[in-house]
Chains A and B, each alone.
Chain A
C-alpha cells in the first residue's frame, strides 16, 4: 500500500518540534528503513502513520485515502514495538487470534487467518503451545505472526529487535526479509542502527532532527550520500573526514590531503569548477575501503599515492583495518587481510579519489554530485 506524508508537523506542548515539515512517499510493497540518531523522530513517524500520535498539521494518506481522522484500528495497520510481548496464559493460537476477535471477525475466519500467518512463518507446530514453552526466536516469530495475521495493509516495526542478542537479531532480520518477499505488505522499519537499515530496507530514509535528510536505495545512500550526516551514519569503520581545499596546481585541479595535493578526476574537477569551489575550503570524506595498499593499485594509481605510517593493525578475518598517520591526519583503511603492513612501518597507500566525497563547509551538503 502506498503511504504519503505531506508537510507533517508535530510539536510538543512547549512548542518544540518532534517532526517538522516532513514529506515522505512510500511506494506500494516497499520495505522502507527509517534510520537516524535517537530522538530524530523515527518512532514518531511510525506512530503518526499508525494513528497513535496526532499531528498538528499536514496530511497522511494510505492508498490515496486521507487517514488523519481515522482511529488507529481502522487504518489496517499493524505495529510491533521492542517491548511487545505475548499474553502468558493464552496459547500461541489464542494470542494470534486475539486482535482479530476484537475486530469481531468470525471465529472460523480468525482460525483461517491465524493458520495462514503461522504457515507463512513456519510456526504451525507451535499453535497449541503456551508462550513459556517457546524459545526466544519462536516468541519473536509468534509476535510477528500475530501482527501479520490480519493481513495488515502496512506493517510498522519500531526497532523491535534492538534489545535482542546479535545472533537472534540476525535471525529475525532474515525472518522479516523472507516475510516481506512472501507478503503484499508495505513495511516501514525504524532503527538507530544503520547496518540494520542497510540489510533490510529496499529503500532507506535518513532522518535527523525531525525531518527527512535523504531517501534512496541502500547502495546509493552509501556511495552518494546527500549530506555529511548521511555519509558519517553509514559504514564500519566510519568514513574518514578532513578539512580540505580545492586548489589549482600545475594546471590541474587538485584536492589538498595534508601536505599532498592530489589531482581530482576530470569529471569531479569540472563539477567543482562549475560550482565555484575552486580555491575554496570543503569537507572531504573517503571510505576506509577506498584507501588501498596493494601493489597493483599503487602502480596503476600513482597520482593518488601518499606516504603513511601504520599506527595500528587490526585483523578481522575477511579484512584488516589499518590506522594510518598521513601527514597530520589519522585515517582508517580497510585492506586485504594478507597485507604486509605492520605497526610502526612506513608504507605507501592510494586514496582512490574516484570515490571521494566532498561537502560544502557551511551547508554540509554534497558538492560532488
Chain B
C-alpha cells in the first residue's frame, strides 16, 4: 500500500543522516527502493533470507532485516556493513517501515469506512465497532459537504481540498463517484451554520483560485452521531440537485436553505403535470420569450412594484404593464395580483423541475 516513492524517500533520508547504504526488497525479489548501486544483485539473497526463520542475518558484508505487516512478511531491508551501528540503522529502518505500513493501512481503512458509511453499506453495530477500532469519535457534531467539479476525476481540486484540510485529522476527504468530492467535517463547539456557509465559500473560492475550475458546493445538516453522517451526505446531494434546478445562480447551496424548491423537488410527477395543465391551460411556460421572463422575474424581485421594476428594466411603466397584460392573456393570471403571482411563480418552478427531469431521466 505504501508507494515505492515513499519508501525511497525514507531510506534516502535515513541513509543521508546515518551515512549507511540501504535497500528494500519485496517478496517477489524486486528492489523497490535503494541507495546502493548494486542493489539488484542482492535480491536473490534477500529472498533466501525471507524464507529462513531468522529475524535478521549478516551475509556477504550486508545485514538483512524482515518487515512484517500484521505477521505477514512484506519486505526485506538490507543495510551494507557488518558493524554494530549498521545493525542499529537497519533495525531502525525496518521498524520505521513497519510503522508506516500500519499508518497507511489505518488511513485506507478509515477511507473505506467513511465511503461505506456515506453509502449506507454498514450495519449500526459495524459502524460503532469500526469507528472505535479506527479511533473515530462517535458523538461529535459533523456535517457533510459535497463538492461537484466540472470535470470528472479532477485531481487538482482534490489536491487543493487535501491541502486545505491536511492539518485537520478529524475531517475526512473522499470520493464515491467521479465528479463529487466529499468532505466530512467535524465541527468545533463554537461552530454552527453561518460558519459552515463560510467554510463552503472558502472551499469554492480556493478551488476556483488555485485550480481555476468550476465547482459547486452543497452541504447537509449538522448531525450529532456518526451513524447519521450518511443522512447529512444525502441531504447535501439533494441540495446540489435542487440548486441545479432552481437556483442555478448559486454556487453554494445549503440543505436547510432550499426554500420552495425543496417542496417542489419532492412532488410526484403526475401531480406536477396536473398542476401545470390547470394553470397554463395548454400554454407552456417555455413559450414565453426571454424578454418576458426577464420582465416577470424583475417584477417579482421588486415585490410586484411596477414603477421600480420598470425603472430597473429601463423601460417605460406602460411597456411593463403591456408585457404583464400579455402574460395575463396567455395564462389567465394577472400577476399584479398577489394570489395569481404566487400561482404563477410556483407554476414556473414546477415547469423548471419538469424540464430538468426530461433532460436528466433517472
Q: Is the pairing of A and B real?
A: yes
In the complex, the answer to whether B206 meets A84 with C-beta atoms within 8 Å is: yes
- Given the known A-B contacts A12-B248, A83-B198, A209-B313, are A88 and B209 also in contact in the complex, defined by CB atoms under 8 Å? no
Please name all residues of chain A whose beta carbon is closer than 8 Å to the beta carbon of B160 when the two chains form the complex. Answer: 87, 98
Residue-wise, chain A 65-102 has the 8 Å CB interface mask toward B (1 for contact) of 00000011101011111111101111000000011001
Question: Which residue from B167, B208, B248, B294 sits with its C-beta under 8 Å from A88?
Answer: B167
* Tally of chain A residues near chain B (CB < 8 A): 39
Q: How far is the CB of B311 from chain A (nearest CB, A)?
A: 8
Cα-based distance from A17 to B314 in the complex (angstroms): 14
Residue B201 is within 8 A (CB to CB) of chain A in the complex:
yes
Q: Would you call the interface of chain B mostly helix, strand, loop, or mixed?
A: helix
B 244-271 to A, binary, CB cutoff 8 A, 1 in contact else 0: 0100110000000000000000000000
Contact A16 B202 (CB under 8 A): no
- Knowing A84-B206, A87-B164 touch, does A79 contact B348 (C-beta < 8 A)? no
Q: Within the complex, what minimum Cβ distance (angstroms) separates B30 from chain A?
A: 28
Q: B150 → chain A, closest Cβ, in Å?
A: 9
Q: How many Cβ-Cβ contacts under 8 Å join chain A to chain B?
A: 95
In the complex formed, the residue of A with least CB distance to B355 is: A13
Complexed CA–CA distance, A34 and B290 (Å): 26
Tell me whether A81 and B249 are in contact in the complex, defined as CB-CB below 8 angstroms, given that A14-B348, A72-B213, A89-B167 are known contacts. Answer: no
Residue in B163, B249, B352 whose beta carbon sits within 8 Å of that of A18 in the complex: B249
**Given the complex, which residues of B lie within 8 Å of A20, measured CB to CB?**
294
CB-CB under 8 A from A89, the residues of chain B are 163, 166-167
Do B209 and A81 touch across chains, with their CB atoms under 8 A apart? Answer: yes
B142-189 residues with Cβ-Cβ distance < 8 A to A are: 156, 159-160, 163-164, 166-167
Residue of B nearest to A13 (CB): B248
Closest chain A residue, CB of each to CB of B348: A14
> B212, A79: Cβ atoms under 8 Å?
yes
Looking at A47-55, A262-270, A271-279, A347-355, the stretch in contact with chain B turns out to be A47-55
Please indicate the chain B residues that have their CB under 8 angstroms from the CB of A13 in the complex. Answer: 245, 248, 352
A14 contacts B208, CB within 8 Å?
no
Looking at the assembled complex, report how far the CB atom of B185 sits from the nearest CB atom of chain A, in whole angstroms: 14
**Max chain A Cβ within 10 angstroms of own Cβ: one of B160, B163, B348, B352:** B163
Residues of A within 8 A of B (CB): 11-18, 20, 50-53, 71-73, 75, 77-85, 87-90, 98-99, 102, 143, 146-147, 209, 362-363
The 7 closest A-B pairs by CB, nearest first: A81-B205, A15-B293, A87-B163, A72-B212, A83-B205, A89-B166, A16-B297
21 sampled A-B residue pairs with Cβ under 8 A: A15-B290, A16-B294, A17-B290, A20-B294, A51-B212, A52-B213, A72-B214, A73-B212, A75-B212, A77-B212, A79-B209, A79-B212, A81-B204, A82-B205, A83-B201, A83-B205, A85-B164, A85-B205, A88-B164, A90-B166, A146-B209
